[in-house]
């Protein structure tokens, strides 16, 4: 029940004892401010970390070829291994169920021009699955699809910065871009969290590239992701088996490290996820520490407040205040101050984070911030701690004989 008179009493007490109210409010606000800032910065660090390692799918495996360094089965050293479409199909069929996405890659490099503007870009000829492997985000239009592959269409998907560079302020979608003398239709524009470099790429269907540049079925590299349901050990076993089978297929010596190179991101991923766990742990300790410091502060102040108000409590009791009304007036006041101060601390903290955000990027802190629920939870914890810390002395004060409280001057 809302008791206006009780609130009047409380507001008067807060208003007329400003030093006391400000002091206790300051402690809480400061604790929440520190909590928000520390947690925000730690989160920022984690964001940077996550972004640096998670741009590409972290269950990905790349298969690359090179020259042999060892003679094997009568074949000489220095033989160039060249992947073809059949190798791509082989992996796809051989490891069906274990492979999630798979794409071939052909690297090209062309001068691209549109009207007066021109520049040189990396070009990747790929399969549709490539979108998921690179975590490419479509901004406009569509990605390469199976249809493009089948009919070897001259269409391309360009990065956001390619559009910015060449098409200036106009839109690129549906326009024709000249790549090394051949006109390609832009069917999509993408963005990528991997940074500017990733957004200066151009994708085209793998079959188109094979047809136009040499009319062969060569592939430079095969990228795939393994089934995410596999655990770390299964993933390693899978890539080991893949390496072995590919080496057999090309008659490469087992110990040859150059001819067939299979790189499994899982090896790195494990270290990364362990570091992330470590970071989370540190964040938790920081948050908990700040919170405990805040709780101790609030508790101290509550004990002090009750002590300071002992005489007032005695007077009120002599005038007919029940113990319950004594406890509630002290508790509600402290909860009210804590809640307001906690909110102020939160706003300040978020404000500080917003202001320093641009300056922190170079220190590997990206998007520092805290979730609202976390801060609300922290403030609630402080309020509850303050209430408990205040309740015990308030209860005790409400039980002392008024004569003892009144004598205390």
The SS3 call for residue 192 is coil
Q: List the beta strands (DSSP E) in 143-269.
A: 155-159, 176-179, 182-191, 201-205, 218-219, 221-226, 260-264
For other proteins, the closer CB: 9 or 217:
9
Give the number of residues written for the chain. 409
Min separation Cβ 408 and other proteins, Å: 11
> What is the separation of C-alpha 244 from the centre of its chain, rounded to a whole number of angstroms?
36
Sign of the four-CA dihedral 168, 174, 179, 181: negative
Torsion angle defined by CA atoms of residues 280, 282, 283 and 287, in that order, rounded to the nearest 10 degrees: 140
> What is the separation of C-alpha 325 from the centre of its chain, rounded to a whole number of angstroms?
49
For other proteins, the closer CB: 319 or 355:
319
Min separation Cβ 9 and other proteins, Å: 7
- CB of 145 within 8 A of CB of 114? no
Min separation Cβ 39 and other proteins, Å: 38
For other proteins, the closer CB: 202 or 332:
332
Closest by CA to 204, choosing from 108, 118, 102, is 108
For other proteins, the closer CB: 266 or 313:
313
- Per DSSP, helices labelled H in 309-371 are 310-318, 323-360
Q: Which residues bind other proteins (CB under 8 A)?
A: 4-5, 8-9, 12-13, 16-17, 311-312, 314-325, 398-399, 401-403, 406, 409
DSSP notation for 2-23: --HHHHHHHHHHHHHTHHHHHH
Q: Name the DSSP letter for residue 173.
A: T
The SS3 call for residue 250 is coil
Beta bridge partners of 67: 80
Min separation Cβ 300 and other proteins, Å: 22
Min separation Cβ 345 and other proteins, Å: 26
For other proteins, the closer CB: 288 or 318:
318
Alpha carbons 67 and 82: distance in angstroms, whole number: 9
Alpha carbons 65 and 260: distance in angstroms, whole number: 5
Beta bridge partners of 240: none
Torsion angle defined by CA atoms of residues 50, 54, 58 and 61, in that order, rounded to the nearest 10 degrees: -140
Min separation Cβ 275 and other proteins, Å: 55
Min separation Cβ 320 and other proteins, Å: 2
Min separation Cβ 332 and other proteins, Å: 15
Alpha carbons 108 and 155: distance in angstroms, whole number: 15
Min separation Cβ 304 and other proteins, Å: 17
- Per DSSP, helices labelled H in 95-133 are 130-133
Closest by CA to 63, choosing from 314, 240, 289, is 240
With a CB cutoff of 8 Å and minimum separation 6, the contacts of 393 are 302, 303, 306, 307
Min separation Cβ 318 and other proteins, Å: 5
Min separation Cβ 333 and other proteins, Å: 12
């Amino acid at each position: 029940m809302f008791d206006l008179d009780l609130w009047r009493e409380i507001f008067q007490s807060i208003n007329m004892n400003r030093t006391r109210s400000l002091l206790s409010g300051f402690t809480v606000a400061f604790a929440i401010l520190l909590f928000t800032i520390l947690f925000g910065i730690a989160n920022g660090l984690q964001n940077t970390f996550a972004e640096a390692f998670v741009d590409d799918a972290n269950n990905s495996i790349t298969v690359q070829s090179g020259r042999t360094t060892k003679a094997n089965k009568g074949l000489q050293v220095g033989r160039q291994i060249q992947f073809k479409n059949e190798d791509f199909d082989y992996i796809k069929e051989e490891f069906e169920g274990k492979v999630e996405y798979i794409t071939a890659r052909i690297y090209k490099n062309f001068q691209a021009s549109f009207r007066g503007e021109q520049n040189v870009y990396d070009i990747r000829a790929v399969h549709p699955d490539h979108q998921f492997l690179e975590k490419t985000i479509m901004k406009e239009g569509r990605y390469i699809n199976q249809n493009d592959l089948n009919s070897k269409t001259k269409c391309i998907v360009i990065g956001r910065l390619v559009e910015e560079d060449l098409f200036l302020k106009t839109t690129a979608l549906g326009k024709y871009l000249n790549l090394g003398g051949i006109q390609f239709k832009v069917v999509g524009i993408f963005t990528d969290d991997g940074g500017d470099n990733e957004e200066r790429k151009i994708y085209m269907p793998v079959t188109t590239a094979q047809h136009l540049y040499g009319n062969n079925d060569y592939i430079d590299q095969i990228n795939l992701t393994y089934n995410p349901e596999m655990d770390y050990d299964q993933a390693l076993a899978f890539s080991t088996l893949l390496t072995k089978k590919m080496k057999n297929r090309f008659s490469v010596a087992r110990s040859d490290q150059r001819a067939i190179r299979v790189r499994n991101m899982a090896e790195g991923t494990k270290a990364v996820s362990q570091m992330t766990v470590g970071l989370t742990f540190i964040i938790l300790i920081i948050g908990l520490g700040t919170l405990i410091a805040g709780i101790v502060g609030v508790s101290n102040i509550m004990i002090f407040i009750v002590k300071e108000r002992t005489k007032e409590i005695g007077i009120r009791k002599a005038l007919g205040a029940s113990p319950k009304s004594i406890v509630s007036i002290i508790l509600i006041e402290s909860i009210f101050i804590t809640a307001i101060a906690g909110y102020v601390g939160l706003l300040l903290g978020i404000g500080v984070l917003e202001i320093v955000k641009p300056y922190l990027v170079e220190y590997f802190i990206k998007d520092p911030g805290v979730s609202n629920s976390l801060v609300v939870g922290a403030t609630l914890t402080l309020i509850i701690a303050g209430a408990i810390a205040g309740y015990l002395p308030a209860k005790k004060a409400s039980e002392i004989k008024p004569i003892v409280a009144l004598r205390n001057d």
